[in-house]
């Protein structure tokens, strides 16, 4: 027996190694490292990564259930008419332009590359099912910058030359418009680049002062654009100006000086910048690092958010603003006092977040606790802003990817995606999440790797950010997953389709159907404008038989379902069968 066991294990190991050798080929290149949220995310991510990697070692073989791509085509039953409402409840796709698609062969993704791949995101044709069906896009920073990630802006009124031109961007906006896609852009005004003209002028001016001479704001107003001080008494976040006695605040990095957001002139500048982009046609902004506007001073941050939200609303009531407050649900609830339309729901995301924790049934996580926790969380947010729209997500450019969170367990990844894409609000999907792209360790570059379009056709393939490692990809690229009806990609597509058929999913008032809910099963109701649906989740590795007879859902029928392995959900004579990890929409 032992010999046979060893033989089988060796065979499996060889198979896995061979499968993995199809990895991406990547060219090295030299550039900068830091990203805005790195400081705050560092610790948390380290914890996550360690846990994930420990488990990785144990379960590499057991969970490496990459689809073999040979399944029969399955036509989805229960396809309904699309019912897309043009409001601010949308399905967003987060794009790191650098790593998405390269249109001109220099190895760096660009705006024209995004345009070339828009049909993948949404082709604007309701009769096709070859696109993912997103109707919102968030572009990570696109303005001129000194780094690959571009979170340090040197010019707020242009497109980074690596990415293209303002003309390219206008074309992108037109193409998005044709497809009903709202395009929002990253706006970074907690800090600028140290190479921004405002900062350079301020520094040159201070360096030209005689010893002991006080700065004259009429001579150089930019001195008050930042937090310069001579009274620096040690501690982190401050950096010296050359050989002078002056210091400046740069919480994230010495190359990212923090703006003085209390200065009315700085606010005027930011208003002009926001107006410039709104006039071009962007649909809103993702606000970077809102916790650090005044680090550690939540009330002042809320005031900044309120000022910015009110200003943008005065120009465009339909603009979507989503803030990055990487914090607890209580803190996020406080930030909603500003009236900001949306904030990312960090407590749902990442390795320890409600979503993957529930899909993996980690520790005390059960179907019913998930339902209760999410309800409580959303109620808290709503208390402070009745019109809030949640922005749930699983992973983004600062976190481990979903594949690492679920240790490459494809069924758990699908269950996570299903939980995300049946949430209220505007869910955000990070590029590559839909094909199970991998991340590795703490290094930000390893979370922002080239989109895996194809292994056979290298057209448009970007090269990796310079400090990225060669990270093994466990799941096939886009072109292969497109052909496989049971792929993760097709699961995402089906989930978004169901979302686009049922406006109640994003907008409905939620209540838990207690009589059907237990550790493995969560049943909820969503009511939107007198239309009511129910969603039932089976968060278990085995199928479940559920009798709807004599319950609130007696007489309901199936509108659609999500299944991780092609098994069918069925409902006959009040008996609902749900295969493992399935989700059904009833009406």
**What is the binding site for Ca ion (CB under 5 A)?**
102, 104, 106, 108, 110
Q: How far is the CB of 331 from Ca ion (least distance, A)?
A: 39
Number of Cβ within 10 Å of residue 440's Cβ equals 21
Q: How far is the CB of 164 from Ca ion (least distance, A)?
A: 8
Number of Cβ within 10 Å of residue 578's Cβ equals 26
What is the chain's length? 587
Which lies closer to Ca ion via its Cβ, residue 164 or residue 283? Answer: 164
β-strand partners of 537: 522, 583
Residue 214 has φ and ψ, to the nearest 5°, of -85, 145
Catalytic residue among 48, 288, 327, 520: 288
Strands 238-240 and 247-249: antiparallel
Q: Which residue has the tokens 């958010």?
A: 305
Which lies closer to Ca ion via its Cβ, residue 102 or residue 168? Answer: 102
User: What is the spatial distance between Cα 155 and Cα 338, in angstroms, rounded to a whole number?
Assistant: 28
Q: How far is the CB of 148 from Ca ion (least distance, A)?
A: 13
Q: Which residues contact 520 (CB under 8 A, 6 or more apart)?
A: 366, 367, 538, 539, 540, 544
Check if 87 is active-site. no
Check if 269 is active-site. no
Which lies closer to Ca ion via its Cβ, residue 68 or residue 104? Answer: 104
Q: Which residues contact 433 (CB under 8 A, 6 or more apart)?
A: 394, 395, 401, 402, 417, 492
Q: Are 539 and 520 in contact (CB under 8 A)?
A: yes
Q: Between vectors from CA 412 to CA 553 and to CA 399, what angle results, nearest 5°?
A: 120
Which lies closer to Ca ion via its Cβ, residue 357 or residue 463? Answer: 463
Cα separations in angstroms, 499 against 391, 430, 459, 564, 577: 15, 17, 32, 17, 22
Q: How far is the CB of 106 from Ca ion (least distance, A)?
A: 4
Which lies closer to Ca ion via its Cβ, residue 95 or residue 289? Answer: 95
User: What is the spatial distance between Cα 81 and Cα 497, in angstroms, rounded to a whole number?
Assistant: 10
Q: Which residue has the tokens 């033989």?
A: 7
Q: How far is the CB of 343 from Ca ion (least distance, A)?
A: 33
Q: How far is the CB of 527 from Ca ion (least distance, A)?
A: 47
Catalytic residue among 38, 45, 324, 327: 324
Which lies closer to Ca ion via its Cβ, residue 110 or residue 520? Answer: 110
φ/ψ bin of 296: left (φ > 0), alpha (ψ from -120 to 50), beta (otherwise): left
Find how far residue 560's CA is from the centre of its chain.
25
Q: How far is the CB of 142 from Ca ion (least distance, A)?
A: 13
Which lies closer to Ca ion via its Cβ, residue 150 or residue 499? Answer: 150
Find how far residue 67's CA is from the centre of its chain.
25
Active site residues: 288, 324
């Amino acid at each position: 027996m032992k010999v046979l066991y060893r033989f089988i294990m060796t065979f499996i190991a060889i198979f896995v190694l061979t499968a993995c050798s199809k990895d991406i080929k990547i060219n090295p290149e030299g550039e900068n490292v830091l990203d805005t949220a790195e400081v705050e995310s560092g610790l948390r991510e380290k914890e996550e990564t360690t846990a994930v990697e420990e488990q990785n070692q144990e379960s590499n073989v057991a969970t490496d259930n990459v689809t073999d791509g040979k399944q029969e085509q399955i036509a989805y039953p229960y396809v309904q008419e699309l019912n897309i409402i043009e409001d601010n409840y949308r399905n967003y796709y987060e794009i790191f332009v650098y790593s998405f698609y390269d249109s001109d062969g220099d190895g760096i993704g660009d705006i024209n590359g995004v345009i070339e791949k828009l049909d993948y995101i949404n082709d604007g044709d309701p009769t096709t099912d070859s696109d993912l069906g997103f109707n919102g896009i968030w572009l990570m920073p696109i303005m001129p910058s000194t780094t690959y990630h571009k979170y340090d802006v040197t010019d707020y009124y242009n497109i980074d030359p690596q990415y293209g031109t303002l003309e390219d961007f206008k074309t992108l906006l037109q193409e998005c418009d044709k497809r009903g896609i709202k395009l929002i852009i990253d706006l970074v005004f907690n800090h600028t680049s140290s190479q921004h003209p405002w900062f350079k002028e301020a520094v040159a001016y201070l360096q030209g002062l005689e010893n002991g001479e006080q700065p004259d704001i009429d001579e150089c107003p930019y001195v008050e654009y930042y937090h310069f001080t001579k009274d620096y008494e040690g501690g982190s976040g401050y950096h010296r100006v050359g050989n002078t006695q002056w210091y400046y605040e740069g919480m994230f990095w010495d190359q990212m000086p923090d703006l003085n957001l209390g200065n009315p002139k700085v606010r005027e500048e930011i208003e002009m910048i926001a107006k410039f982009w709104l006039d071009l046609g962007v649909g809103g902004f993702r606000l970077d690092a809102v916790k650090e506007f005044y680090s550690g001073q939540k009330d002042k941050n809320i005031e900044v958010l309120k000022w910015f939200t009110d200003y943008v609303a005065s120009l465009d009531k339909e603009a979507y603003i989503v803030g990055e407050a990487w914090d607890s649900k209580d803190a996020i609830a406080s930030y909603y006092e500003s009236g900001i339309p949306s904030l990312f729901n960090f407590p749902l995301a990442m390795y320890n977040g409600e979503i993957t924790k529930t899909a993996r049934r980690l520790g005390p996580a059960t179907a019913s606790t998930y339902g209760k926790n999410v309800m409580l969380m959303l109620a808290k947010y709503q208390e402070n802003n009745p019109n809030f729209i949640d922005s749930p997500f699983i992973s983004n450019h600062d976190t481990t990817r979903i594949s690492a969170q679920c240790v490459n367990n494809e069924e758990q990844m699908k269950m996570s995606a299903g939980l995300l894409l049946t949430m209220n609000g505007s869910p955000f999907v990070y590029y590559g999440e839909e094909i199970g792209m991998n991340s590795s360790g703490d290094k930000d570059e390893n979370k922002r790797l080239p989109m895996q379009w194809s292994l056979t056709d290298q057209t448009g393939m970007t090269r990796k950010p310079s400090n990225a490692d060669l990270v093994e990809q466990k799941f096939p690229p886009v072109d292969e997953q497109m052909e496989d009806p049971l792929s993760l990609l097709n699961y995402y597509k089906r989930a978004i389709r169901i979302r686009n058929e049922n406006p109640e999913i994003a907008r409905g008032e939620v209540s838990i159907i207690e009589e059907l809910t237990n550790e493995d099963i969560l049943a909820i109701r969503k009511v939107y404008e007198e239309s009511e649906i129910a969603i039932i989740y089976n968060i278990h590795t085995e199928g479940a038989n559920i009798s709807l007879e004599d319950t609130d859902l007696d007489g309901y029928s199936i509108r659609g379902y999500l299944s991780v392995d092609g098994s069918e959900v069925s409902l006959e004579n009040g008996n609902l069968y749900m295969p493992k990890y399935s989700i059904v929409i009833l009406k």
